[in-house]
Amino acid sequence: MEKNGKSGISLQKIVQLYKQEGLEITTEEAALILDFLKRMAKIAVNQVFKGNG
């Protein structure tokens, strides 16, 4: 299983998780989803440390 960057989850694992929920996605879509979630997590952490959360 190929890992995507520094995250501990592979794109194939994301595809598998979505498939378990009845949604078919491609590895390209999984990469976009992972990128979005990483960005959202970074924003959330920054807001907590700045006291805006």
Tens-place pLDDT, residues 7-29: 689 999 999 999 999 999 999 99
Question: Mean pLDDT throughout 25-53?
Answer: 93
Q: Has residue 28 been placed in a domain?
A: yes
Q: Is residue 2 part of a domain?
A: no
CA 31, 19, 9, 1 dihedral sign is negative
The mean pLDDT of the chain is 90
Assigned domain for 1 exists: no
**pLDDT score at 8:** 83
Whole domain around residue 45: which residue ranges?
Answer: 11-50
